[in-house]
Amino acid sequence: EPEVTQTPSHQVTQMGQEVILRCVPISNHLYFYWYRQILGQKVEFLVSFYNNEISEKSEIFDDQFSVERPDGSNFTLKIRSTKLEDSAMYFCASSEALQSYQPQHFGDGTRLSIL
Amino acid sequence: DQQVKQNSPSLSVQEGRISILNCDYTNSMFDYFLWYKKYPAEGPTFLISISSIKDKNEDGRFTVFLNKSAKHLSLHIVPSQPGDSAVYFCAASAETSGSRLTFGEGTQLTVNP
């Protein structure tokens, strides 16, 4: 069964450094998402992306965050100047369509640890 | 954000019995509800969904019930198997607010052999 893949599985970064999290969505999916889960908290929506544009973003997704689809397969989340509170599991997801009745399929996540 | 709430952090059942996981929501604009299962060190795996125009959806051992008037949904697993032991997340979305999923806290289900 096709799946969303994320790399790396674990990223350790010094506070203030830039980090890029990578995702390869399911090949025929057109909509891409990033979520995060801080330890002990709920999974939270960050951003959705379609046709090389951000479709929607949450209040968490401020200017330090950016997303990009640099080629036909990768979808990346960049955090420009990391803070301690950015430590979390970051999940990438993709879906065939934007309608709310299309399930999103998730990758296994990248654990980001900011020191 | 308390729009989707799973009040039971954990549930333990015997193999072969029914597992019932509950979820409440407050946003009446939600029109699509999903259940995800999550094993440690893996991402959430889509399990089953239901549209707000229905009150029941069944897929094998899994059935989701939706009570719109009570803003409540539940996931029934019968019979429960040890491999079902995982964290179960309820999630909801609204057509009017794009495709973002709003998640509950999750319920850890343990199925004992």
What is the per-residue DSSP string for B91-104?
EEE-GGGTT--EE-
- CA distance linking residue B98 with residue A46, whole number of Å: 13
- Tens digit of each residue's pLDDT (9 = 90 or more) over A86-107: 999 999 999 987 665 779 999 9
Which pLDDT value is given to residue B96? 77
Q: Please indicate whether, in this complex, the C-beta atoms of A100 and B34 are within 8 angstroms of each other.
A: no
Radius of gyration (C-alpha) of chain A in whole angstroms: 13
Closest CB to A100 among B1, B44, B93? B93
- CA distance linking residue A53 with residue A15, whole number of Å: 28
* Opening angle at CA B96, ends B90 and B97, nearest 5: 60
Chain Cα centroid distance, residue A2? 18
3-state secondary structure A22-79: EEECCCCCCEEEEEEECCCCCEEEEEEEECCEEEEECCCCCCCEEEECCCCCCEEEEE
Which pLDDT value is given to residue B61? 98
Closest CB to A106 among B43, B95, B99? B43
Which pLDDT value is given to residue A70? 86
A chain contacts of residue B46, beta-carbon cutoff 8 Å: 103-106
Average pLDDT over residues B54-72: 97
Residue of A nearest to B104 (CA): A42
